[in-house]
Structure 1
Amino acid sequence: MNIEKSASHILDRVKAHGADGDLIIDEGKTLSLRAQAGELEEHKVSSILIFGLRIIKDGHVGTAYSEASNENALNSMVDQALLNASFAKVEPDEKILDISGSLKTNDEILCPSDVVTIEDKIAFTLSMEEELLAKKKIKNVPYNGVSDTISKRSVFTTSGLHASSKQRYCSAAAHALMEDEEKTVMEGSGKVSREFGELNYQTIVEETYNRCLSLLDGQAIPTRHYDVILDEEYQPALFSIFSSMFSAQSAKDGVNPMRDKIGELIADERLNISDSPLLVDGFGYALFDSEGTATAPTPLIKRGYLETLAHNSATAKHFGVKTTGHASRSPKSTLGIGLHQMYIDKGNDSESTLHAGEYLLITDLAGLHSGANPISGQFSFGASGYLMNDGERLQPVRNITIAGNFYEMLKKISAVGTELFWDQGRTSLMPHIRFSDIAISGS
């Protein structure tokens, strides 16, 4: 059976048992390449096909999944979901949405055809490692790789919805170890694109080498409070760690400190945050969520005020609002919430204002998840970067710790830049933000 026939078979069986259901089908194929000491260490082609079923019968929710597509396996998946539902408690807020029709993304934009041969991709991988190893003081390139992935997600429901999205994701990255007598440093760089031909390994080589070289002599700076700017990679990473502040699911569960603050001033008035799933240049692009709801831009913070939380249909019903199209579910998981692409509006502060005087530019954070508490907002990370003055580097900085409270940091914004930057994975689009009076522990 093809995907559509399999979906019809599954959902017909669900309806025959007097239940409603939705079905997620994830398909994918990935080429992975990695070099080691001038040889191709990995050349792997992998594929996935996984069915994830959620059924609701008399208010009871059951889920099950199958990685096999034969009729017996799919029948067993339905039976397992029904059995799981029979043991589950009633979930009064969870329903299969009564929406029908079709949604489909544009393959020409999101999944362009590949014109680069496998031989050229292998040559790209080997050359990236070779040219880095040829650089002075580079001892090893322990982490490097190239990937080319095509993924497809389909959502079918007993209400008659069929939504599908197909995307291509090409990436290349390298991390190099540099040594100079007793000093060592490891830094890296990576790029992503929808077309492999747009990737340039020489850019990755030069960025990786320059990052290693510039941080090799880094030392701790005196312990005190500094103004801080995080680079294009780690500012989005910090916001992502605390993105549960926008989750209505965590609010429903009683673990979101923002639950009762909608309409309140929670950040500096310069800050405007939204979720923008329809920016096609980003790899968080989503035409629909995991329930099949069509997505739309969602303002989260406007001029410092909390506008709304992100909802799926269940949390929307619980709080008496409309879903914002942020249902998140993998084939193996239950219904949750997730942002698609975080977007922060550019500000009005010039480059000279943003970079005026002394500040610390953070280019690396260690222990991102273990060092953060999204409920309290507290964090403590190892960090490295550069001590700056008027946009010029004074010295490289390593072996320091940055600590504080993220929710308080949002109130300590002193400047928001006028230029927008994607993070490396192209899932967040933000300007640089300058935070004032941040605790740094060093020498």
Structure 2
Amino acid sequence: MTQDLAHALLDAARKAGADAADALVIEGTALSIDVREGRLEHAERAEGLDLGLRVLIGRRQACVSSSDARPETLAMMAERAVAMAHEAPEDPYAGLADPGQLSARRDGEGLDLFDPAAEPDPAALEDDARRAEAAARAVPGISQIDQSGASYSRRTIHLAATNGFVGGYQRSTRNTSCVAITGEGTGMERDWSSESRIFQADLPSPEAIGTEAGQRAAARKGSRKPPSGAFPVLYDERVASSLIGHLTSAINGTAISRGASWLRDALGQPVLPRGFTLTEDPLRRRIAGTRPFDAEGLATARRLWVEDGVLQGWVLDLATARKLGLESTSNAARGPSAPPSPSLSNLALSQGTASRADLIAGMGTGLLITSLIGSTINPTTGDYSRGASGFWIENGEIAYPVNECTIAGNLRDMLMRMTAANDARAHLSTQVPSLLVEGLTIAGA
């Protein structure tokens, strides 16, 4: 069905007068169950179809999308897109890939992106949510459960273009999550646990997820503001990936081509301490971020973005590569209603040899962050400020939980003062261990 619709969109685009076009079709099913206080609170099943068409008239392009697959709608989409493209400003860098650039891999075979097991029954999802909630509530110190849920989704993705590319694959996701609360009134604190896997068989038990949520929340009882000053800050593995996310945003081809990145002059320069490597591997088996080809039909492949601390390149799609006079790094991503743009998947930062506990023991006095709230990031200077909560460390041990504080620094300096733990989780698409950053400014009490 998805392949037929993609070809029908291309046929409609040609008839409407497009010089070139590509079509993205996504068909999927999503099922979610939420419980509260042992009772079913919300159940939802959604079946959807998203159609996206990009047309090019010379170097002018336009995108349209719809969820209606009737032939007359496809014809109307194409006519509207062509009319829009005629009125769009010329973009000298827009265009499809040359046929010789296209990926030979056209499906997800061998990547284990879809669980062939039957779609779970709603009653089974509800049972998982109830079991997670019961396990969290059984943890001493938990006053209530904010939410406990389980979900399943399945998607079929198909991409076709007039340059000859035709490819598609399926994805599935199974998730269980729980949010627990400790304390009462203004003294309430919350924390959570959530696990997602492609295969149901790989998902931890609901009891393990609920217990973790409860234990995390209970540990936050009695939180207060930490002292202000300059201290070492340890980003827990749950939030450490945000630091690397700021780095990858800064090397994105869109920001670089606009000259609007705090790393715009850093190619071939150290951006992380020596010994650090940042690797992308879009072809990892059984991982949510895996993709056999990018959104422009180019072959994805393993790539080193940072090697021994030194930045190796920019993250590019075809348009940004052309603008910079480079080759695409096969990192195009897109939704049905927009043209491609650069994006990374399946990142891994090299791990250290010390455990998180070792880093806590060695940091003396400082802050362990387990949650980040909001952000103020200057994309051109790298100035950084975020709200945070977690635990205050004294004499190398956790002293008490903290909240309502702000941490600040400059990303260029922060990333060069990092020490990595060894606790990155292998099943995540983004694998980043806990990271210790020396000398951040903390605004607390």
TM-score by length of 1: 0.92
Deviations 1:149-174 (A, max 9, x none): 11221110101111212111111111
Deviations 1:109-162 (A, max 9, x none): 211123554322211112322443454443332233211011221110101111
Structure 1 residues 360 and 26: CA distance shift in structure 2, 3 A? same
- Aligned ranges 1:148-159 → 2 under 5 Å: 148-159=152-163
Question: Shift of the alpha carbon at 1:88?
Answer: 0.8
CA distance in 2, matches of 1:182, 1:348: 41
CA distance in 2, matches of 1:108, 1:242: 28
Identity between Structure 1 and Structure 2 (%):
22
* Partner residue, 1:287: 292
Does residue 382 in structure 1 map to residue 387 in structure 2? yes
Which of 221, 239, 251 pairs up with 1:234? Answer: 239
Structure 1 residues 195 and 159: CA distance shift in structure 2, 3 A? same
* Partner residue, 1:264: 269
Secondary structure of 1:274's match? strand
Secondary structure of 2:219's match? helix
Question: Shift of the alpha carbon at 1:431?
Answer: 2.6
The AA in structure 1 aligned to 2:4 is K
TM-score by length of 2: 0.91
Query: Which is further off, 278-287 or 389-398?
Result: 389-398
Question: Shift of the alpha carbon at 1:104?
Answer: 0.3
The AA in structure 2 aligned to 1:33 is I
Does residue 174 in structure 1 map to residue 178 in structure 2? yes
* Partner residue, 2:437: 435
CA distance in 2, matches of 1:106, 1:433: 36
Structure whose residues are more often strand by fraction: 1
* Partner residue, 2:78: 78
The AA in structure 1 aligned to 2:3 is E
Does residue 33 in structure 1 map to residue 36 in structure 2? no
* Partner residue, 2:187: 183
The AA in structure 2 aligned to 1:92 is P
CA distance in 2, matches of 1:140, 1:327: 44
Please, what is the CA RMSD of the aligned residues? Answer: 2.3
CA distance in 1, matches of 2:49, 2:246: 29
Question: Shift of the alpha carbon at 1:224?
Answer: 1.5
CA distance in 2, matches of 1:186, 1:18: 54
Question: Shift of the alpha carbon at 1:233?
Answer: 1.4
CA distance in 1, matches of 2:296, 2:248: 20
Maintained 8 Å contact 1:422/1:430:
no
* Partner residue, 1:253: 258
Question: Shift of the alpha carbon at 1:336?
Answer: 1.3
The AA in structure 2 aligned to 1:46 is A
* Partner residue, 1:10: 9
Deviations 1:77-126 (A, max 9, x none): 11111011000111111111123565100378211123554322211112
Deviations 1:29-73 (A, max 9, x none): 101101123221111110221111111111111111121111011
Secondary structure of 1:91's match? coil
The AA in structure 2 aligned to 1:286 is R
Which of 320, 328, 332 pairs up with 1:327? Answer: 332
Deviations 1:216-243 (A, max 9, x none): 1232222121212211111112322453
Does residue 142 in structure 1 map to residue 146 in structure 2? yes
Secondary structure of 1:404's match? strand
* Partner residue, 1:69: 69
Secondary structure of 2:305's match? strand
Deviations 1:296-353 (A, max 9, x none): 1222222222210100011111112111111121001122111112211123557786
Query: Which is further off, 36-45 or 175-184?
Result: 175-184
- Aligned ranges 1:273-422 → 2 under 5 Å: 273-348=278-353, 354-355=359-360, 356-358=362-364, 359-368=366-375, 371-388=376-393, 392-413=397-418, 415-422=419-426
Question: Aligned residue pairs: how many?
Answer: 437
Maintained 8 Å contact 2:423/2:434:
yes
Structure 1 residues 60 and 133: CA distance shift in structure 2, 3 A? same
Question: Shift of the alpha carbon at 1:372?
Answer: 2.7
CA distance in 2, matches of 1:92, 1:264: 30
Structure 1 residues 53 and 178: CA distance shift in structure 2, 3 A? same
Question: Shift of the alpha carbon at 1:182?
Answer: 6.0
* Partner residue, 2:106: 103
CA distance in 2, matches of 1:255, 1:362: 29
Unmatched tracts of structure 2, length 5 or more: none
Secondary structure of 1:47's match? strand
